[in-house]
Chain A
Amino acid sequence: MTTAMRHKAAQKTGVDQFLTFLRVVLSFFIITGLVMFVLQQINPDNPIAARINPDATGLTADQFEGLVISGLSQGAMYGLIALGYSMVYGVLGFINFAHGEVFMVGAMTGMIVSNKLDEAGAWESNFLLSLLFIIVVAIVCSTATAVIMERVAYRPLRGAPRLIPLITSIGVSFLIQNISVVLLGPGAKSYPTLPDWLADKRSILFFEIEGTKIMVLVVAAISMAGLWFLVERTKTGKAMRAVAEDKEIASLMGIDVNKTIVTTFAVGGAMAGVAGILWGILFRSVIHTTGFLPGIKAFSAAVVGGIGNLGGAMAGGLSLGSAESLAPLMVLEPWGIGGVSQLKDAVAFLVLIFVLLVRPTGLFGERLSSEDRA
């Protein structure tokens, strides 16, 4: 067996060579970009940087800090969404592409309820309580969406080849977007303005952080801690992990596999609901397609972290968020690539491609043995 594998490894195919080529080129691109960035920070007039991109401005410490914080807060939101992709993949082995829409439902309900609260005057006078309330409502609606989706669209397909629920999920995704257009119209809608005190910067340790971002990070951290507790410390969580690993034996233990799968969708939906509110706080604008890009990025984050691995989904989200915030200025600009701040989205997917090239199982993914792959 091992000798056969070694033999196979020795015979490099054209594809392998091409992949190695890509790995080398991308690594060179990233490392050189970073090195040039550092050189330029040290001495803005150094000959190498000046030659490749004379217009590069570099970053001040404040700008850098700002980018890190906004990267992390968006990354935390991606991470929350990524958990849902990862958990569903863990139990059912397919990617639920409609999960981005579960997130969008959370953001939409948050928008509706927060505007109602604003009309009633509660948004201004009692912001924290209002926020808690819209989070709860978003959790309820997103969870319901995820659970109904499982029941109506995916359960009848249990046992079908994985490609079938995957394609179905794309259909479900369009369906939910269109329902949103029918119910709420096609235009973008906004959240009420946030209270002024929230935007103030506060110093935490060595950082000066905007209140909004502190709030986003705190809410995300609490949600993740809750999820961690559920999965690792409760009987329900143990059942979820058992079902993810072996459904037949889980049912032999007396676990209700269907119920556990529903719970998994529900918990993933709840996390997406929270993320929807975070989106509302960060960007204050929602439209029926809001779920698409964050959804795809969160999916990338789940893959980057190692799909099926919850810690990985979080770490993947934070890394992806930071990368898309920092890389345009730290890697692309030194190369003289123009309009870098608009390349955020491209960077997110470049990160995905790079991680898959270098570590196909993701940062924290376990190597699937042929036995596990099923």
Chain B
Amino acid sequence: MTDRNGATPLLEMRGINTHYGAVHILKDVELAIYPGELVCLLGGNASGKSTTLKTLLGMVTPTTGDVVLDGEVVNGKPTSYLVERGVTMVPENRRLFKRLSVKENLELGAYLRTDRDGIQRDLERVYSMFPRVYERLSQKSGTLSGGEQQMVAMGRALMSNPRVLLMDEPSMGLAPALVQTNFELIEQIHQEGVAIFMVEQNANMALSIADRGWVLQTGRVVLDDTADALMANPELRASYLGEA
């Protein structure tokens, strides 16, 4: 693993193997996210990207290996333990609570927090970042457009005041024009000091804003490099960037 001038990684996977029943999904996965970085995980369908994120958050328990947060092994800890310590996720397909209002979705993002002032400050931060969300606070979130839902999902995640934000295919299902805006928003969140770990199929876009990246193939990390090097990698260009 690339050691970054002796800094401790914020979140790490060490020799992770994850199974669903008898099916072996993640195979000896090693990766590390450092504070304030923007990194991405690329890979085709069913390569295990979502499983990687769920394993990091304790939503899926690995069979062997360790998930490490700030140097502490957190295997078997409930998801809330990680959320309380600054890890959260914008899940695949956004997964808003559709029958709840936009405001309630945002409030649930701050479920574990007790600092009222901080919550209020973060609500206002979300409103200023997504004015559209502010206009629709009392609307049921299931009635929002796809783009608006994406904003609420990001806002909900930010409401936990994360240090690292995991994003599972944030551009999935968005119109091309929105994909661009969406990546700009991700960069903006990153510039506020939040580390971002993004899973994407849109490799070009993801690599253009990321510092480093990994490529996952049937549950194994096959490439681990800087974004520029990955961008130039002929193998990757062939398989993910649509160049034959």
Binding site for B on A (CB under 8 A): 235, 238-239, 241-242, 245-246, 248-256, 366
| Closest chain A CB from B199 CB (angstroms) | 15
With both chains docked as a complex, state the minimum distance between the C-beta of A98 and any C-beta of chain B, in angstroms.
27
Contact partner, A241, options B83, B89, B97, B112, Cβ 8 Å: B97
Q: Is the interface of A mostly helix, strand, loop or mixed?
A: helix
7 additional contacts (CB under 8 A) given A242-B97, A249-B95, A253-B112? A241-B100, A248-B59, A251-B80, A252-B59, A254-B80, A254-B83, A256-B78
What residues of chain A lie closer than 8 Å to B109, measured between beta carbons? 253
Shortest C-beta distance, B139 to chain A (Å), equals: 16
B111 and A239 form a contact (CB under 8 A): yes
Q: Does the CB pair A256–B80 fall under 8 Å? A: yes
In the complex the two chains form, what is the Cα distance from A251 to B156 in whole Å? 14
Query: B94-114: contact bitstring with A at CB < 8 Å (1 yes, 0 no)?
Result: 010111100010011101100
The answer to whether A254 and B160 touch (CB under 8 A), given A238-B104, A238-B108, A249-B91, is yes
Q: Does B95 contact A253, Cβ atoms closer than 8 Å?
A: no
The smallest C-beta distance from A231 to any residue of chain B, in angstroms, reads: 12
Q: Indicate if the CB atoms of B83 and A253 lie closer than 8 Å.
A: yes
Residues of A within 8 A of B99 (CB): 241, 245, 366
Residues of A within 8 A of B98 (CB): 245
User: Which of A249, A254, A366 interacts with B97 by CB under 8 Å?
Assistant: A249
Tell whether A254 pairs with B79 under 8 Å between CB atoms, given A238-B108, A249-B91, A249-B95: yes
Q: Give the docked Cα–Cα distance between A251 and B59 (Å).
A: 8
B107-A238 in contact (CB<8A):
yes
The 8 closest A-B pairs by CB, nearest first: A254-B112, A254-B80, A254-B83, A253-B108, A253-B111, A249-B95, A254-B111, A245-B97
Chain B neighbourhood of A239, CB < 8 A: 108, 111
The reply on B196 being an interface residue by CB < 8 A is no
CA distance A75 to B168 in the complex (A): 48
- Decide if B30 is an interface residue (CB 8 Å cutoff): no
The answer on a CB contact under 8 Å between A254 and B100 is no
Question: Given the complex, which residues of A lie within 8 Å of B100, measured CB to CB?
Answer: 238, 241-242, 245
User: Which of B84, B91, B104, B107 contacts A252 (CB under 8 A)?
Assistant: B91
Q: For A254, list chain B residues within 8 Å (CB).
A: 79-80, 83-84, 111-112, 160
A245 to B104, CA, bound (A): 13
User: Is the beta-carbon distance between B57 and A252 smaller than 8 angstroms?
Assistant: yes
Out of A235, A248, A251, name the residue touching B78 (CB < 8 Å). Answer: A251
A248 vs B89: C-alpha distance in the bound complex, in angstroms?
12
With A and B bound together, what is the CA distance between A239 and B97 in angstroms?
11
Tell me if B88 counts as interface (CB < 8 A to partner A): yes
Bound form: Cα–Cα A253–B111 in Å: 6
Q: In this complex, what residue of B is CB-closest to A258?
A: B78
Which residue on B lies nearest to A244, using beta carbons? Answer: B99
Closest chain B residue, CB of each to CB of A255: B111
Instruction: Tell me the chain B residues, 72-90 only, with Cβ under 8 Å from chain A.
Output: 78-80, 83-84, 88-89
Give chain A residues whose Cβ lies under 8 Å from the Cβ of B111: 235, 239, 253-255
A206 to B95, CA, bound (A): 51
A4 to chain B, nearest CB (A): 22
Report Cα–Cα, A239/B83, bound state, in Å: 16
In the complex, what residue of chain A is closest to B58 when comparing beta carbons? A251
Least CB distance, B210 to chain A, in whole angstroms: 23
Can you pick out 17 interface pairs between chain A and chain B where the beta carbons lie within 8 Å of each other? Answer: A239-B108, A241-B99, A241-B100, A249-B91, A249-B95, A249-B97, A252-B57, A252-B59, A253-B83, A253-B109, A253-B111, A253-B112, A254-B84, A255-B111, A256-B78, A256-B80, A366-B99
B128-163 residues with Cβ-Cβ distance < 8 A to A are 156, 160
Closest to B109 in A: A253
Q: Which residue of A lies closest to B159 (CB)?
A: A253
Residues in B whose Cβ lies below 8 Å from that of A256: 78, 80
The interface residues of chain A lying within 8 Å CB-to-CB of B104 are 238, 241
The reply to whether B80 and A242 contact each other, CB–CB distance below 8 Å, is no
